């Protein structure tokens, strides 16, 4: 088998000059020269398709990288590089635009931060909304001590949140909505389990039914589940560490994949590159009121995340709201 045929097939398999040089036991310069010869050959003979390379050639190439032992294929993985792709630049529209809102804590939301968020998203027009947990506070059924001045019952909280959620659906009629259960929504299950266990499995006392999510067309995702779109996993989160970024990293270490969380009310995006690929760790911020009775000066950030997908691949963009100003897409949203 000629070196040109071998290089041709390896290029079709996505190998770069370093991998080809190593396989041929030659220099990168020589590998680049051979690759240029292949490209010239393809350009001058359009009818020749690399896919039609004979099976004997394929088997000869495969022997360099794979071997079979008792039915098991053992594969040698080459060192990945980011510089050996084709030089042609391609541009296309993203396949899916997603907006992620976490930790609104109705009825203790920050109305100004939410107004800025809504105005930006009306311009952005996402295809999907992910309400990533703690959309309700469920203060009245919390097991924690309560402030007597907050005179609100659970039914009032439900009706208030239902009205606000319906407004999102009305403002974005073409978008798909999904709502994940956060630890604050889980307060209902814990309250019923502790105070009226016989009612625990009754459909009418479950959060998704009390909020009429099925009527609103919102998919409910319980805390026992996660949502995955492409290579990114969405979960409200169960770890809370001290510094921004560390909680998402803890979830990445648990799940072993790219992950977006809420729960800790901070904004952060970090990337990690391993032998198995690139992984993203996102903390989504909050849209709640910072004036809380259990903390004097919370280290929280108002904001949210938009994500654009190309198949399984994705690109996240965080939108911080600082001093009630949001800067994005060449615009300044300010009250």
Residue with the bigger pLDDT between 46 and 327: it is 327
pLDDT band of 81, cuts 50, 70, 90: low
Residues 293 and 325 in one domain: yes
- Please indicate, yes or no, if residue 91 is contained in any of the structural domains: no
Residue with the bigger pLDDT between 52 and 155: it is 155
Q: Give me the helices (H) in the chain, please.
A: 3-12, 17-24, 28-44, 55-65, 111-124, 154-171, 187-195, 207-210, 213-216, 246-255
So what's the pLDDT on residue 174?
96
What is the C-alpha separation between 184 and 107, in angstroms, rounded?
12
Distances (CA, A) of 311 to 65, 229, 282, 315: 28, 9, 19, 11
DSSP helix, strand, coil percent of the chain (3-state; round to 5): 35, 25, 40
Six-digit token string for 230: 């492409």
**What is the torsional sign of CA 211, 214, 215, 219?**
positive
Rounded to the nearest angstrom, the gap between the alpha carbon of residue 304 and the centroid of all alpha carbons in its chain is 12
Six-digit token string for 102: 């976490």
Six-digit token string for 189: 């299950």
Residues 149 and 209 in one domain: yes
In the chain, how many H helices and how many E strands? 10, 15
**What is the torsional sign of CA 82, 83, 85, 87?**
positive
- Please indicate, yes or no, if residue 80 is contained in any of the structural domains: no
What is the C-alpha separation between 248 and 250, in angstroms, rounded?
5
Six-digit token string for 168: 């999102």
Residues 125 and 164 in one domain: yes
- Please indicate, yes or no, if residue 232 is contained in any of the structural domains: yes
| pLDDT, average across residues 307-311 | 95
What is the C-alpha separation between 257 and 241, in angstroms, rounded?
19
Residues 147 and 214 in one domain: yes
β-sheet bridge partners, residue 278: 273
Report the CATH number at residue 227: 3.60.21.10
| pLDDT, average across residues 82-92 | 70
| Single residue among 13, 46, 75 that ends a domain in this structure | 75
pLDDT band of 47, cuts 50, 70, 90: very low
- Please indicate, yes or no, if residue 83 is contained in any of the structural domains: no
- Please indicate, yes or no, if residue 250 is contained in any of the structural domains: yes
Residues 312 and 186 in one domain: yes
- Please indicate, yes or no, if residue 87 is contained in any of the structural domains: no
Helix, strand, or coil here: 250?
helix
| pLDDT, average across residues 197-217 | 88
**Looking at the 3D structure of the chain, how many domains does it have?**
2
Helix, strand, or coil here: 49?
coil
Helix, strand, or coil here: 126?
coil
What is the C-alpha separation between 184 and 236, in angstroms, rounded?
10
So what's the pLDDT on residue 50?
44
Residues 125 and 68 in one domain: no
| Single residue among 13, 43, 75 that ends a domain in this structure | 75
Residues 29 and 102 in one domain: no
The percent of residues in the chain predicted with pLDDT above 70, rounded, is 85
Residue with the bigger pLDDT between 139 and 117: it is 117
Judge whether residue 142 has pLDDT over 70.
Answer: yes
Mean pLDDT lowest for which of 29-43, 130-144, 171-185, 207-221?
29-43
Residues 204 and 243 in one domain: yes
Task: Name the residue range of residue 18's domain.
Answer: 3-75
What is the C-alpha separation between 131 and 177, in angstroms, rounded?
8
pTM score > 0.85 for this model? no
Judge whether residue 13 has pLDDT over 80.
Answer: no
| pLDDT, average across residues 250-259 | 96
- Of 101, 102, 99, which is closest to residue 264 (Cα–Cα)? 102
So what's the pLDDT on residue 218?
97
Residues 235/259, Cβ–Cβ less than 8 Å? yes
Residues 201 and 324 in one domain: yes
- Most confident among 58-72, 76-90, 197-211, 260-274 (mean pLDDT): 260-274
């Amino acid at each position: 088998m000629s070196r040109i045929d071998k290089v041709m097939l390896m290029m079709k398999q996505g190998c770069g000059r370093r991998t080809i040089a190593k396989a041929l036991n030659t220099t990168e310069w020589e590998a680049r020269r051979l690759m240029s010869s292949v490209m010239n050959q393809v350009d001058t003979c359009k009818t020749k398709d690399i896919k039609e390379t004979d099976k004997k050639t394929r088997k000869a190439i495969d022997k360099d990288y794979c071997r079979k032992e008792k039915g098991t294929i053992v594969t040698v993985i080459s060192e990945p590089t980011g510089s050996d792709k084709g030089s042609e630049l391609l541009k296309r529209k993203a396949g899916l635009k997603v907006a992620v809102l976490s930790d609104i804590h109705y009825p203790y939301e920050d109305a100004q931060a939410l107004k800025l968020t809504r105005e930006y998203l009306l311009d952005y027009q996402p295809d999907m909304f992910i309400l990533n947990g703690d959309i309700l506070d469920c203060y009245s059924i919390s097991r924690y001590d309560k402030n007597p001045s907050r005179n609100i019952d659970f039914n009032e909280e439900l009706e208030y949140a239902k009205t606000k959620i319906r407004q999102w659906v009305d403002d974005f009629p073409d978008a798909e909505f999904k709502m994940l259960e956060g630890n604050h929504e889980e307060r209902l299950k814990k309250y019923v389990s502790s105070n009226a266990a016989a009612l625990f499995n009754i459909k009418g006392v479950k959060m998704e039914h009390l909020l009429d999510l099925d009527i609103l067309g919102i998919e409910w995702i319980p805390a026992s589940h996660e949502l995955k779109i492409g290579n990114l996993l969405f979960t409200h989160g169960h770890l809370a560490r001290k510094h921004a970024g560390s909680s998402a990293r803890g979830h990445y270490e648990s799940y072993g994949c790219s992950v977006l969380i809420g729960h800790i009310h901070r904004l952060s995006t970090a990337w990690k590159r391993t032998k198995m690929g690139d992984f993203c760790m996102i903390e989504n911020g909050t849209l709640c009121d910072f004036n809380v009775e259990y903390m004097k000066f919370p280290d929280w950030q108002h904001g949210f995340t938009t994500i654009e997908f190309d198949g399984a691949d994705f690109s996240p963009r965080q939108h911080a709201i600082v001093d009630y100003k949001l800067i994005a897409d060449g615009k300044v949203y300010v009250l």
